Copies of this chain bind each other. A is one copy, B any other.
Amino acid sequence: MANFSPPANVKAFEERLLEVSENLPKRLRQCADYVAANKDRIAVSTVAEMAEGAGVQPSAFMRFCQILGFSGFSEMQRLFRETYVGGWPDYSTRLLHLREKPEGSPSALLGEFVEAGRASIESLLSTVDPVALNEGANLLVAAGMIHIIGLGRSFSVATYVAYLFEKMEVPAVLHTSLGKLDNRHAIREGDALLAFTFAPYSAPTLELVEDVAARKIPIVAVTDSAIGPLAKFRPTTLLVSEIDFGAFRSPAATLCLATALAVIVGTAKSQRA
């Protein structure tokens, strides 16, 4: 009856839909029309809802799915749910895969990190709120001096941002707690703080943020959770979710975001001058 291989992606799905919809009986054509106009609903609706939308019985919609090559509605829905959540479909299973054979060849391991990095970076586009990015950039552009903090895992990102600002001649200092000195009094009115912190959030960073927040100095936070310990200070928040690989994650996405932010600020500053 139906073609036996179900479409593997949305593109194939659309082709099949087009190909099939030429000569279809009345009710099934209604299904095709409704689906074509409401592809985005497939992921979040039940058969009953789709059928009602198309003005047919659930059973008719069912047959429609089968004609498209799926075993049923569930299989069709799975396709859309997976593409909806984007680049990282069941990453946890792959992770398990590695745990089972920790002696994977080095290049296989590299491959895993490549995959994790790629997915993390792509997810930036959905986790970073464009409005917040804009706002954060403006705060930093307006600042007399940008103070950068990031310790532990975030230290490398902080150093890179400091490097970029220096190259672009943007006044910025990197706060390290080298020698347990925190130069919190170097942060003055008119400055801004750019903080990087991820779980487990390092205490000195949190303390500095708290201190600075109390003085009403603007804070831009790059972090991994909207409800993390920074949240109560209501900073401008840029969210990153790094995909971990085993216990490890490379801060590739964070770095990517940080670079973009630095360049945005740098070019804006130079245009103001």
Given A88-B84, A110-B124, A14:B226 Cβ within 8 A: yes
Binds B, one of A184-192, A205-213, A214-222, A248-256: A248-256
Q: A113 in the interface, Cβ–Cβ < 8 Å? A: yes
Q: Assess the B32–A227 pair: CB atoms within 8 A.
A: yes
Q: A75 in the interface, Cβ–Cβ < 8 Å? A: no
Number of chain copies forming the complex: 2
Q: Complex formed: what's the CA distance from A205 to B153 in Å? A: 24
Across the interface, which residues of B come within 8 angstroms of A12, CB to CB? Answer: none
Shortest CB-to-CB span from A100 to chain B, Å, is: 14
A131 to B, closest residue via Cβ: B107
Q: A142 in the interface, Cβ–Cβ < 8 Å? A: no
Across the interface, which residues of B come within 8 angstroms of A95, CB to CB? Answer: 125
Q: A92 in the interface, Cβ–Cβ < 8 Å? A: yes
Q: Complex formed: what's the CA distance from A195 to B124 in Å? A: 30
8 A Cβ contacts from A244-273 to B: 246, 248-253, 255-261, 263-264, 267, 271
Given A156-B163, A227-B33, A124:B133 Cβ within 8 A: no
Given A225-B36, A227-B32, A121:B114 Cβ within 8 A: yes
Q: Complex formed: what's the CA distance from A132 to B89 in Å? A: 18
Q: Assess the A260–B125 pair: CB atoms within 8 A.
A: no
Across the interface, which residues of B come within 8 angstroms of A257, CB to CB? Answer: 110, 113
Q: Assess the B91–A87 pair: CB atoms within 8 A.
A: yes
8 A Cβ contacts from A12-26 to B: 14, 17-18, 21-22
Across the interface, which residues of B come within 8 angstroms of A112, CB to CB? Answer: 260
Given A44-B85, A160-B156, A256:B114 Cβ within 8 A: yes
Q: A52 in the interface, Cβ–Cβ < 8 Å? A: yes
Across the interface, which residues of B come within 8 angstroms of A144, CB to CB? Answer: none
Shortest CB-to-CB span from A158 to chain B, Å, is: 8
Task: List the 8 closest pairs (A to B, CB-CB), nearest first.
Answer: A250-B259, A156-B160, A107-B130, A44-B81, A113-B260, A156-B156, A21-B227, A117-B256
Show the binding face of A for B, using Cβ within 8 Å.
10, 14, 17-18, 21-22, 32-33, 36-38, 40-41, 43-45, 52-53, 81, 83-92, 94-95, 98, 102, 104-107, 109-114, 117-118, 121-122, 124-128, 130, 133-134, 137, 152-153, 155-157, 159-160, 163-164, 199, 224-227, 231-232, 239, 241, 246, 248-253, 255-261, 263-264, 267, 271
A-B contact pairs, 8 of them (CB 8 A): A21-B231, A38-B241, A107-B128, A110-B261, A153-B163, A155-B163, A160-B250, A246-B263
